[in-house]
Structure 1
């Protein structure tokens, strides 16, 4: 029965997120912002709403380990699996704004979250600070989006929401979607916690795997569909925006609503959060390599995700070699991959071997 509740919770979360995205995108079109800003804000925030619901409920229930694992696992899942899979399907062009601003911000906030966790707890005041940064960043994005591309709303409206939903209908969709998210989050947290305890698996591992993957399904569906439809700014912006949202809004909210902040286990700090930061850093050389995420780079990202998941499972099963393998992966494989992609990207740009799609975004 508990597994049926887990599945039901995941389904309800996905349906709720889909309804929220539809209503939110319609409101963004009315506000006249560009597709990239829609991807970075409305779509990213809508698809990250499950993470927010799950982490908030977890924090209120005292299951902060699931809240932390959900955020860290989702950020790793978003880049390595979602972006990697989308690039394997269709090579993704990357806009100049993402390279100059949004990806560096994602890297900075990832490092900041890791530094906040060094003392073993993400405190409530740190959560408040992260939330204030999030509000400032979002406000700047919306203002710049309206200033730079004020005339694209009609085109976006035709391609994304041809029915031209009214503000009232959009707000109603947001309310219904939010209600479904809260219900789905409760089902997911309760069933995941029960499964973790019955199998002897720690809450943090469940949060890093089952819950993180489940709450990231909306991002996966959105980015893959956007890649198929040629909406590459939305596909990439969704991932980058979701990761920033997860750290500055989701994790911050969990820290604020929890009585004692969000506790961080030593293993999570040494391995999972290091992988999260390394994953963010990996985006920089990949995006710089001709302003495009190639199929080869996408395949490497998928391989890294499979390796990370295998190490998580091995660690939870107390395999004797898991600890050493984790250290090699976090402190050896990822830095080497970043350096390799950085060198390849530099050589590519100096040869002038840049994809025309990428050039359009320079």
Structure 2
């Protein structure tokens, strides 16, 4: 049991670090091949926000465990809004510009309802995975078009300002390979440890994906959001969460559909997905405020988000004992 817990903790840490090295290497290779920095930021770096979740979901699916990956998607999206933005708002209130809401929140809602529609029959099949993959490509094209028109959009700034420093081609390839190897090894550790913990406590893999794995893979968003807020870049914190949730629902959810299609635990659809949608609506409500120029996620609302997350974890506990 202690070995399984250690595998998850160490695995998540290596997963996050390996994802950063992989993205840095891939972005630097592209830069050395003279790909425009804007395109690199809006493709390679943007996908990197959900890379830990993608690799975990892929490895779980390869093991025939699609519920762990699906739980990771839904749980990460809930944690991003309730835990990440909630804690960030407790530290410093987050002012949100209306452009973020008008442009990006509707797209997040569209993607959320698309995912629900694909999951509504109780299974994720290969065609669902194809639809998610095509939607991901369309999302990347849309974000790139925004970047070409407005480089100060919060979602665009979040990705383009995260470009790594220039490296030689040799260094770039080295970090690309190192990151890839670490991603494979660490994701295996996380999946193995998570399954062992689930079996030990007699809970489902879905629950472990919704909690331990989801919170672990959401830690980078927490660090990035707090750092952005402390630099008085609240819109970057919001953009970080919105962007991550979009990519989770498209790129990560596509993994079990493409690799191991089939039926999944109905609790994910009947209990967890509506709660995720509820938190997404709550994000819109607390962000919008009553002013045309936007709203503020204050400390009280941040406390409500964190309390809501605690309540959700308690609900999962009650239903798993």
Is the TM-score greater than 0.5? yes
CA 296–178 in structure 1, closer or farther in 2 if over 3 Å, else same: farther
Q: Residue 142 of structure 2 aligns with which residue?
A: 140
Residues 291-317 of structure 1, C-alpha deviations (whole Å, 9 max, x = no match): 332222211111111110111111111
Of 93-102 and 47-56, the range deviating more from structure 2: 93-102
1:84 correspondence with 2:89: no
Unaligned 5+ runs, structure 1: 318-362
SS at match of 1:291: strand
Q: Residue 307 of structure 2 aligns with which residue?
A: 303
CA 294–156 in structure 1, closer or farther in 2 if over 3 Å, else same: closer
Residues 117-168 of structure 1, C-alpha deviations (whole Å, 9 max, x = no match): 2211022101111110111111121132033239xxxx9999867x941373
Contact residue 110 and residue 276 of structure 1 kept, 8 A: no
Contact residue 21 and residue 47 of structure 1 kept, 8 A: no
Q: Distance in 2 between matches of 1:156 and 1:242?
A: 11
Contact residue 16 and residue 178 of structure 1 kept, 8 A: yes
Contact residue 223 and residue 235 of structure 1 kept, 8 A: yes
SS at match of 2:186: helix
SS at match of 1:149: coil
Q: Distance in 2 between matches of 1:121 and 1:156?
A: 34
Q: Residue 224 of structure 1 aligns with which residue?
A: 226
In the alignment of these two chains, the number of paired residues is 307
1:294 correspondence with 2:298: yes
CA RMSD in angstroms, aligned pairs only: 2.9
Q: Distance in 1 between matches of 2:14 and 2:162?
A: 23
Contact residue 73 and residue 249 of structure 2 kept, 8 A: yes
Unaligned 5+ runs, structure 2: none
1:31 correspondence with 2:45: no
Q: Distance in 1 between matches of 2:36 and 2:69?
A: 32
Contact residue 219 and residue 239 of structure 1 kept, 8 A: yes
Q: Residue 330 of structure 1 aligns with which residue?
A: none
* Bigger relative CO (Cα 8 Å, ≥ 6 apart): 2
Q: Residue 254 of structure 2 aligns with which residue?
A: 252
Tell which structure's C-alpha radius of gyration is larger.
Answer: 1
Q: Residue 103 of structure 1 aligns with which residue?
A: 105
